[in-house]
Amino acid sequence: MLKENLDKVFDEIRFGNNLGEPITVVGAGKYVDIDTLKRAVELGLKDIGDNKVQEFRDKTSALSGVNFHFIGRLQKNKVKYLIGKVKLIQSIDSIALAEEVAKQSVKNNLVTDILIEVNVGVEDSKAGFYLDNVLDAVKTISKLNGVRVMGLMAMLPYTDDNELLSKLCLQTRSVYDIIIKEGYPLTYLSMGMSSDYKIAIKNGSNMIRLGTCLFGERDYSKN
């Protein structure tokens, strides 16, 4: 089933998004065992993301030839465990967190690539900057030594309202493009998960974070 799931997604994105940009698939590996992830890599998955620092550390030590992403809520005291091991920290949801990543990166003589998290639905349950504040956040964070802002990561609401999702995706892409026009060379708009990635890539996303549609349902009650 894993091969069929990956082949299906790879086929769907072969022409890129609606703008012709190539799409990066990040396998959301939360609670996915190492053997399954190894098999996914063998089948062509090049990027794996995790939400928990401990799982991230276990997987980076067990897997090779993979771009690792951190995609979950990140506490400042856990940042040090990611530096030098991560391709992208996608969940920079505050200036203070960006400053800590910068501090730890400089300490290790590294530059860490990051995405600014956007709370596009203005939901109290989710972290991230509101769209109105994203440009200012990029301007501030881009001044820090030790980090490089590579794009935005959007957290879409959980809803069956496809019209609303399309609207929010387009608004986020518009802000992304404005930031580029302001002189900040962004590369990634990480937007879309298993339930809504098709809408996201039709409306400007060039990176999708997929868990369930690749790896199947996971039993979160055991963790």
Domains and CATH numbers, the chain: 2-216 (3.20.20.10)
What are the two backbone dihedrals, phi and then psi, of residue 105, each rounded to the nearest 5 degrees? Answer: -70, -45
Q: pLDDT per residue over 34-93, tens digit each? A: 999 999 999 999 999 999 999 998 899 899 889 999 999 999 999 999 999 999 999 999
Written as tens digits, the pLDDT of the chain (223 aa) is 999 999 999 999 999 999 999 999 999 998 999 999 999 999 999 999 999 999 998 899 899 889 999 999 999 999 999 999 999 999 999 999 999 999 999 999 999 999 999 999 887 778 899 999 999 999 999 999 999 999 999 989 999 999 999 999 999 999 999 999 999 999 999 999 999 999 999 999 999 999 999 998 866 555 5
Alpha-carbon dihedral sign for residues 189, 192, 198, 202:
negative
Residue 168: closest CA among 153, 154, 148:
154
Q: If DSSP codes are grouped into helix, strand and coil, which group holds residue 16?
A: coil
Give the predicted TM-score (pTM) of the model.
Answer: 0.94
What does the block give as tokens for 219? 């039993």
Q: To which H or E segment does residue 136 belong?
A: helix 131-141
* Sheet strands (E) in the chain: 24-28, 47-50, 67-70, 88-92, 112-118, 147-154, 188-191, 207-210
